[in-house]
Structures are given as C-alpha cells and as structure tokens.
Structure 1
Amino acid sequence: MGLRLNGSGKAPTVDLESSKNNLDLSALQGTPVITGWFGQGVDGELALLGRGGSDHTATAIANIVDAEKVILWKDVAGVLPINPRWGIETTAIHYLGYGEAMELSRLDTPVLHPATVEPLASVGIPLEIMHLYREKEFAQTVIGPDIYDEYRVKGVGCLASVAYLSIDILSLEEQSKNLGQLLVDFSNEDITCWHLHSQPGELKLIISQHDLSKSQQIVTKHFQSPSVETYSAMISLVGNGTEQEQLSLFDELDNRWDLELLSQSPHSLRMLAKEIDIKSILVEMCERFNLCNTLHQ
C-alpha cells in the first residue's frame, strides 16, 4: 500500500494524509492481506512503528480506505475497567467513547495503545474488540463516538510511583524555546511525560519515579533545577462527564483519601495519591463505581 510514517527509523504513527495521497486502490483486489509495523519514513527509508504498531496500522488503513468498521482479535475479553495486574476481578466494558478509550489506554490498559484509537476518532469509524476463542459471541468491547448521558465512571487508570516536577521560569522566550527540545530529549531517552502543564513562568511535569534521575538531568540542561514531589500513584477516573459532576465526585473521594486534584477533561478526572496502599484504594473505587460486574450488562 505504500504507507508513509511520521518519522525515520522509528516512527510513532502513520502519516494519514501522505499515505492517502500515495494509495493505489487498484492494488486492493479480493481480500487484501496487509502487514503492519512498517512503512516509508520521512527520509524515504524503511521505518518501523513502536508499541501497538500492528493495531495502529489496521486503524490507519481503515481511515485511509474509509472502512465501515475495524475488528481487533485479542486473547483477552475486551477492555477491562482496571488493569488485571492489580488482582481485581472485573468484566469487560461494553462501550467506550473514543475519548474515554484514549484516556484509559494512555494510562493503564494493556489491550489498547492511544495511537490505535486516534485514526478512527476523526472519521467516526467504530472499533470492535473480539476474543480469539469466542468468535460466535458479540464484540467484547465496542469503541465509538463519545456519548454524554448520565455521568458514570467506566474505568480506573492507575500509574504507580510518579514524580511531580515543578519548574519556575523567568523568561517566556526561554520557556517557549526550550520546552519543545525538553520533550524531544525525553522521547530520545524513552521517558514518558504523563502530564504536562505549562503557563507563563511555570512548567509542571509528571514522570515515573524510575525515570526521575535522568529527567532531572535533562530538565537542568534547559531550565533551572526543578522541585520534586513524589506520589504513590496518579489515578484517572474515566467516564464522560461535566466539570461540576467531576468536582462533586472529587470532593467525595478527597474526604476519604486526601487526594490532590491534577486535571479534568470531558473524559477523565485525574488525581494524585499519597496513600501507600494503592490497591486498597483501587478495590474500594471499583466497589464504589460498580466496576466488577455491572458494566458488562
């Protein structure tokens, strides 16, 4: 098909516009079988996609050819409300909006990568996740347009052991000039910036604690040394809701666990936790939001 990628050597995503322009539809006869993971980089040489590259290839091609839907066959029963590594038994979420699915995939679900959903969201193509060994059943999870109805938490994303870096910046010119290079350096060192907040004179970042030492060195190259505060976890409550609905829920949870509000979006409420026993918080949250057995119905 001649896929073009956004990068050279190792690329994060498929260049949808360039790939569309390069597409030869006459080559797609019968039932095409297309390999994933690679394409032509910006330098004209072979380039490879990273984690989730095969699924991203499928959804990118769906976007390019304007497919009716995408089906991903997995050896798990759909997208679960919480990562099973926490040892909490749950059932698959039947329906997720694009925004909800991307938030959950950014933070914790091993089934999806954010790049898998992005090519579909812009054109409204649904994604179905089917179990490899249960082909006669309906899709375990369907992902489609975001629906704003009754506010309900559908999933809990949790990233354990994070560090909050705060940087004071005197020069706005320095801030705008160096922030981009800082993120490039993070990417080159395979450091994920899980949260970024930038306003004039101030920059706040969240990274994993195991990347803290290297992150401090990189930050100090571009700005002054950051102040650091560590947290047991960053928790995201995933579900479409209004700002006021989310704030009311946060007040309830904060009274229980002394949480710190990090950010809000139409699809999620992100918080920081100091509590050492994160699993006990997650168990109670799953019980509070009925995630163990009701979302499948």
Structure 2
Amino acid sequence: METERAMNINVMPYINRGFIPVITGFYGVKKDGLPLTFGRGGSDYAAAVIANALNADRLDIWTDVDGFMSADPRIVPHAVKIDEMSYTEAAELAYFGAKVLHPRTIEPVRRKHIPLWVRNSFKPEERGTLISQFRKPKNELLRSVAAKTDLSIISISSPEIAYRPEIVTRILAKISENNDAIYSISTTLSTVALLIHNNDVKDTLRKLNELESEDIERIDVTGDVALICCVGDNLLTTCGVSGEIFGAVKEAHANVQMISEGASDVSLNFVVPMAHVLDTIRILHKKFVEDGGNA
C-alpha cells in the first residue's frame, strides 16, 4: 500500500504528462527511510512491485535468455522454449531452480492479473514467454524440469511426533529462527524430514540441539542431494503419471530419497543424490519432451 501510494504521488503525474520514468531496481526504502537491497535478481522483483503499484497493463522482464525453457539448456542441449505459462508454473520453477526470474517476481503481478513477458534483450525479435492466468492446459505431463542443488535432508526422529503434533511446531519454529529456507517437508509416524541448503546444516543442527532432549530421539543428516521439480498439466489427476516419472528416474539409477506430491496440482518434486541429478533431468526431458512421452 505504501509503495502504491508513493507511486501515485511521485510517478503517475509524470506518466500522465507523457514522460517515461526510469526507475532503478534492486533496492527499495524501509519504513525508517534507509535503503534496503533485494539481493540477487532483485531488479525483477522491484519491477513487479512497481507494475503492481501502477496497475500496469503488462510487465516485460528483459534478460539474457529467450524465456522459460523445458530444461536448463546447459544440461539439456535440446531444451525448447515454453511459449506460455501460468503464474503457478513459473513460480514453482523459479523457486526450485530455473534461473530465469527472481522467485518473488510472480506474486505482485499475480495479485492484479498483470501479464508478465520474459524476453531476451539480445534477441528483441523473439516473442519470449508469456506468464498469465489465461494459459490453457495442453495435457503435457511434463512441460519443464528444474533442479535445486547442494541440499541436505535433516531427519528428526521421535516416537512422540504422531501423538504430540506440537513437537513438529517447535522444530519448525526453532529452525525458522535462522531465517533459513526449508524447501520440502515430509513426515512419517515417528520422523519429520526437512530439506535445506548444505550451507545451513550447521546452524540448523545447533538450533535443534537447543530443544529438549526428550522430544528428539535422533537426528540424521543426508548431504549432497538435489531437489528435482517437474512441472506439467494434470499431474494430480492423470492416472499413472507418477509411475511414469519415477520409471524414468529408475533409468538414471537414482534412488528417490524424498517426495513432495499433492501440495500443488502443477508440480511433483522429489530428491535424488547429487551424483544422479544431471542424468535424471536428461532422461526425464528426453522421455517426456523430446520423444513425445506427454499425453
């Protein structure tokens, strides 16, 4: 609200007079008036916030790629550009490894249904990728696959977890004190498994050790794993799609160590060892995109 009010006061008068404002990205201003940087890729997010504040007709993000791809072309040479995506698809891929947009870019434009174009500044003639609410499903079981690497699984075991759900609350609250990202969560009768970055393992273990000893029986760490994000149409409603995807994972001789399915109807996420991530991505892409394995 404050950004929208400031834009209406300081920017809209110039737009109404026919001027084209040039606004630097990457940083904003805190409530106390001090500047605050957004971090890597923050210019994308700044542009989305401004588009939201000005009720823009569209937002163009000019970058060094043609748009969102079916896979990272550095890993899969035959990756193809995706012409249209939904907000949810783009957000999932950006968060889980596709280095096209800052992950938070999507939300400001999604709130006001502002179409977002990703364009290549070196190829202005290219159409790019359109991200909007109007993308119609094409029954493509796998539209794109991305990976977030250098992760670790923290498994916390306690026989009381199933009967005392507040233990999970305390575990998550304790870890959140570090402001570290948790990329996936999985639970069983007596275990909760969390996926975090390798660099955050030491601080996470230190925080977990602050919990009462009777709440935690054992903590195990599985390092050097990667989270693979598969985005497609009807992943939850198409019979057997999970089996087909994991069949491809088997071809890569990879052991699935953690699965996240059902939280989103457009993505299926799972964890494999770092040593198998590249082969897994290539086999999935070849089966579903290059060889026409989509429905």
| SS of corresponding position for 2:57 | coil
Quote the Cα distance in structure 1 between the aligned partners of 2:259 and 2:283: 18
Quote the Cα distance in structure 1 between the aligned partners of 2:235 and 2:80: 26
Superposed CA deviations along residues 77-104 of structure 1, whole A, max 9, x for unmatched, are: 2112222342533121111110000111
Quote the Cα distance in structure 2 between the aligned partners of 1:109 and 1:32: 30
Gap change, CA 1:125 and 1:157, over 3 Å in 2: same
Superposed CA deviations along residues 225-251 of structure 1, whole A, max 9, x for unmatched, are: 533345643211112325132x61111
Quote the Cα distance in structure 1 between the aligned partners of 2:86 and 2:117: 12
Moved more, 118-127 or 216-225: 216-225
Superposed CA deviations along residues 144-192 of structure 1, whole A, max 9, x for unmatched, are: 115345243111011234322232465555543563342231x2xxx43
- Answer yes or no: is 1:20 the counterpart of 2:20: no
* 8 Å contact kept, 1:182–1:222: no
CA RMSD of the aligned region, Å?
Answer: 3.1
Gaps of 5+ in 1: 1-16
Paired residue type of 2:13: S
* 8 Å contact kept, 1:153–1:289: yes
| SS of corresponding position for 1:226 | strand
- Answer yes or no: is 1:277 the counterpart of 2:269: no
* 8 Å contact kept, 1:90–1:292: no
Q: Which residue of 1 aligns with 2:108?
A: 119
Q: Counterparts in 2 of 1:1-297, with a 5 A limit?
A: 17-23=1-7, 24=9, 25-28=12-15, 29=17, 30-137=19-126, 139-145=127-133, 146-168=135-157, 170=160, 172-173=165-166, 175-176=168-169, 179-185=172-178, 187=179, 191-197=180-186, 203-222=192-211, 224=216, 226-230=219-223, 232-245=225-238, 248-256=240-248, 257=250, 259=256, 261-264=259-262, 265-274=264-273, 276-290=275-289
Identity within the alignment, %: 23
Q: Displacement of 1:197 after TM fit?
A: 4.9
Gaps of 5+ in 2: none
TM-score between the two structures when normalised by the length of structure 2 = 0.79
